[in-house]
Structure 1
Amino acid sequence: MKRIFSIVVVALFLVILFISTQNSTKTTTSSVTDENLIVLNKDLNFREGPGLSYPITSLGKEGQAFSILDEAGEWFFVTDGKDFEGWIPSWQTTNNGKMQSTKITIARSTIDGLNVRAEPSISSAVLKQLSIKDEVVVIKEDEDWVKVEDSIGTSGWISKNFVSFDEKQSEELINTQKPSETDSSKNQFIISVESVYVREEPNLSSTIIGKVKKDDHFDIIEQNNNWVKIQLAEGEFGWIYRFYGAMDSSNSLTNDLEVTIIYGGTNLRESPSTSSPVVKRAMIGESYDILSADGDWYKIAINGNESAYVAQWVVSSNMKQSTSEDKPVIKRKKGTLNGLTIVLDPGHGGNDQGTAGYRGTIEKDITLITAQLLQTKLQGAGATVYLTRESDMYIDLRKRVSIAHSYSADAFISIHYDATEDKEISGFTTYYYHDFQQKLAQSVNNGIANKVPLRDRGAQNGDYLVLRENYQNAILIELGYLSNPAEERVITTDYYREQATLGIYEGIINYFDAKLQSSRGKIS
């Protein structure tokens, strides 16, 4: 018996010795030293392998310190010597106070109408929707969900099942690599919104290459309609929508820019003020060379050596067009929109919220969502589509019209939701002002009527500035009454927006198909 007891004691001693040795070895291996210390910049998922496709093992908290055990590309295998061990992206850590990388993770939607929700749950409220290939910045992950942030800082959750991931240069790099000295020979563009994406090409569907912030200054390289090409850093360039900033009045514009008058009888003044004496009145379509910019005004050349000022909101600015180059003619087939340019105008925005529904719906929010859904459908049919706003920002009504004029839009569609004190009034309405706008209004109204269950109030004449002052084919759609509690419940659903935009899409297709048929009939 004593012999058995002695064997048990020896065995226990050996086990204890083995465990102590292992713990000692582990502690020595994973000790946090100054040489390999890293600190998390934010709450971060630990993964089984070096990549976003590997399963999540645990969550680290912002400010936690870890030691690096291994590296694989832009990923670290780390441990705190106790509870945490796994792979994390190096670009979301700090090493001795220095950023390890200038990369950010981008989530790209692989479907149209991807819901961005307030919480990681399919029962949570939908904040907005992403179109196919839309890109957002990844903040963190939670099992099957990813928390993301858009260009204006709005954050929400999207399903991982409908996105692809990519790594890109971070906004911090772009913001810190602005020219340190102002080049007086170049015009400066000043960002006027809180933050906005910079794109690779001058269109809203182009790849996002970074983000800039309010009051940032950049040299202007060129302009393309309402887009501005800016220099981000040495040899790096990107495009920003012109209405997200302003020209710096302290610098001269290049001689390659001109303005086109978009309102008949526009006043050209002695100085940049609406109270300044009028030098002359310009007619619609007239073009003038830009000499410089002063706030919201352009100084332009008139009558040889004379100059005057014109408000930016009553003109469109463009690169001078060579008369020797003809615009390519694109042959359009029935059922497509190839070669056509359409401007979508999501009503209201910024400090103009529009109407508020009986159940609390804000008009400016759902007009943008609706416009983005419609944009996807129209682009799928071959149209070039521009939005007067792509985020929650205020755009002057005349600027909205100027966008239609500057792009020579084949159709301008303003999207709204209605309200009135009488909570019983319901239905959708399509408005036009000029006689030449009526056929488009009727065609689109018929398309909506074929898709949604609301009362059809018809195509009507409406005295709205975006129609009255618009010399393009323009209509304004009220897609239902938010002031009607029952109707608000219907028109704020994903299904209704899908059907309504499908109706608008089919109405536009039918309108241009009819014009195509009419044109062919005349030729024959």
Structure 2
Amino acid sequence: MQRNFCGLRLSVGSLMVVLVACSSSYAARAVRSSESGDSLTVVIDAGHGGHDRGGIPGQRVAEKNMTLDVAQRLRNVLSGAGYHVVMTRDSDVFVPLATRVAIANSYRNAIFVCIHFNATNRMGASGIETYFYSRDSLPLASAVHYYVTGGAPSANRGVRRRGYYVLRKTAIPAVLVECGFLTNPTEAAYAQTASYRQKLAEEIATGVRGRSSLGSASYIDQTKVAKSERHSSKRSHKKSARKKKSSSKPAGSEARSGSLNREA
């Protein structure tokens, strides 16, 4: 009887060990699943395409080619990390903005990452900027921008809130990354190297993975700051001009003005 009891106790103990092992294995799989992001869909949108080259008229480097290459590299990085990835375009075709938005909105647990490069008539313009619209998109925008600017040798033009169609119409967190100016000779040269485009893709992917770990409290709309500084500069300039004009008046005119004021 004693032997049977001991055997029963051993059996119960063995069962507990098996249950604990199974529980640990399940927990480990759950953690790996959470870390790999295989429950999240990332919709990657390569800007422009087909007859839409992107950029400005006469631009030598076609933006549509650069955005597609970075988007495909980003897809490979995220797929390798376990994410479910959807491309709005995977070749040189034109996709209307409404279609891009419809693709994004067809997924629930998802985020939308739009890849672009900048352009302007001023060749000296440079830097990377990231756009968002909804407040839910700010953590993603902040994280992506943090890592991309940290890994690129370009100026940080800030995170900005704008009502671009693909950002305004998407029902999921959405960001648009401007990966540098193709009209800037230096940044265009970077963009045309495969290693740099791979680096951009990897940093964007790091931002996707770290979207919940970085705070967004430090967000400042750089455009509003610049506009405020311009207005402040204009006000200062006007005050300075008035002061200069006043100081250039003859002494007699100041005296006459003073006497008139006293008489009034």
Question: Taking structure 1 as the reference length, what is the TM-score of the superposition?
Answer: 0.34
Corresponding residue for residue 63 of structure 2: 363
Q: Aligned pair in 2 of structure 1 residues 500, 492: CA closer, same or farther (>3 Å)?
A: same
Corresponding residue for residue 391 of structure 1: 91
Corresponding residue for residue 259 of structure 1: none
Identity of aligned residues (%): 35
Corresponding residue for residue 403 of structure 1: 103
Q: Secondary structure at the match of 1:511?
A: coil
- Say whether residues 1:492 and 2:192 are aligned partners: yes
- Say whether residues 1:373 and 2:70 are aligned partners: no
Unaligned runs of 5+ in 1: 1-329, 516-524
Residues 345-402 of structure 1 show CA distances to partners (whole Å, capped at 9, x for unaligned) of 0001111111159771101111111100000000011100000011111111011011
Looking at structure 2, the residues matched to 513 and 416 of structure 1 have their Cα atoms a distance apart, in angstroms, of 25
Contact 2:39 2:109 in 1 (8 A): no
Corresponding residue for residue 417 of structure 1: 117
Contact 2:117 2:179 in 1 (8 A): yes
Looking at structure 2, the residues matched to 350 and 452 of structure 1 have their Cα atoms a distance apart, in angstroms, of 28
Q: Could you tell me how far 1:332 is from its partner in structure 2?
A: 4.9
Q: Could you tell me how far 1:496 is from its partner in structure 2?
A: 1.1
More strand by share: 1
Looking at structure 2, the residues matched to 395 and 466 of structure 1 have their Cα atoms a distance apart, in angstroms, of 12
Which of 163, 166, 170 is residue 470 of structure 1 equivalent to? 170
Which structure has more RCO (C-alpha within 8 Å, separation ≥ 6)? Answer: 2
- Say whether residues 1:446 and 2:146 are aligned partners: yes
* Counterpart mapping for 1:172-191 below 5 A: none
Looking at structure 1, the residues matched to 103 and 30 of structure 2 have their Cα atoms a distance apart, in angstroms, of 25
Looking at structure 2, the residues matched to 336 and 456 of structure 1 have their Cα atoms a distance apart, in angstroms, of 29
Looking at structure 2, the residues matched to 356 and 362 of structure 1 have their Cα atoms a distance apart, in angstroms, of 9
Residues 222-270 of structure 1 show CA distances to partners (whole Å, capped at 9, x for unaligned) of xxxxxxxxxxxxxxxxxxxxxxxxxxxxxxxxxxxxxxxxxxxxxxxxx
Corresponding residue for residue 501 of structure 1: 201
Unaligned runs of 5+ in 2: 1-28, 216-264
Moved over 6 A (4+): none
Q: Secondary structure at the match of 2:112?
A: strand
Looking at structure 1, the residues matched to 208 and 106 of structure 2 have their Cα atoms a distance apart, in angstroms, of 21
Q: Aligned pair in 2 of structure 1 residues 380, 486: CA closer, same or farther (>3 Å)?
A: same
Q: Secondary structure at the match of 1:421?
A: coil
* Counterpart mapping for 1:308-347 below 5 A: 331-333=30-32, 335-347=35-47
* Counterpart mapping for 1:97-112 below 5 A: none
- Say whether residues 1:458 and 2:163 are aligned partners: no
Q: Aligned pair in 2 of structure 1 residues 409, 398: CA closer, same or farther (>3 Å)?
A: farther
Q: How many residues align?
A: 186
Residues 64-96 of structure 1 show CA distances to partners (whole Å, capped at 9, x for unaligned) of xxxxxxxxxxxxxxxxxxxxxxxxxxxxxxxxx
Could you tell me which amino acid in structure 1 is paired with residue 84 of structure 2? Answer: T
Looking at structure 1, the residues matched to 214 and 146 of structure 2 have their Cα atoms a distance apart, in angstroms, of 14
Q: Secondary structure at the match of 1:470?
A: coil
More helix by share: 2
Say what the alpha-carbon RMSD is for the aligned residues.
Answer: 2.0
